[in-house]
Amino acid sequence: MSDQSLQLEEVPKASTPKRWIIAGIAASVLIGVVVVLWLFLWGSSDEAQKPAAKTEITHESLEPKVAQEAADYVPMPRPFLFNATGDGRTRLVQIKVQLLVRGRDNSRIARKHVPLIEDAILTTFSRASIEQLATLEGKEQLRNEALQGVQSALSKVEGRSVVERVLFTGFVMQ
């Protein structure tokens, strides 16, 4: 081994009050940067400085605004069974129907006039041919004709069309 020994030199430590001054300056600079960034990015806008307009709160304003009344579905009590002719033969057809109405009043009226509605729909269905029922366009045409028949019948009795749509919920052709 060599006769040389390692000698460690001591680095003088900064005095405690000097550390506190440096830490205080760094903290105030950091706080200043944060405040400037906050004001720049999320600072007060013109909308925040405007006084809030007084609005009167009423019972009607608390209810959700609905463009139309809620939809209700009125099922026909039994499916429609009828014979359709075409292609040189007769086929048995069964269609389940529900009516789309808006509001409780229209729902009540539709339920009240179920026999009248069934008559209008069955009259329309009995004119259908197999060719018409075999295509999607034909079924859509039949649905629209049934809607017109129902609306016409209800308009004569109630003075307004109550039903918005006629929906086929089941369709079987044998």
pLDDT tens profile 35-53: 777 677 766 555 445 555 5
pLDDT value of position 65: 42
**Strand partners of residue 170:** 96
Please give the Cα distance from 77 to 96 (Å, whole number): 9
Q: How far apart are CA 101 and CA 109, in angstroms?
A: 10
List, in order, residues 6 or more apart from 160 with CB less than 8 Å away. 154
Contacts of residue 16, defined as CB under 8 A and 6 or more positions apart, other chains included, come to none
Q: Which residue has the higher pLDDT, 112 or 88?
A: 112
Cβ neighbours, 10 Å, residue 163: 22
Predicted confidence (pLDDT) per residue in 149-161, tens digit: 999 999 999 999 8
Percent pLDDT > 70 in the chain is 76
Positive or negative, the Cα torsion across 8, 10, 11, 16?
A: positive
Euclidean distance between CA atoms 119 and 148, whole angstroms: 13
Element housing 101 (H / E): strand 89-102
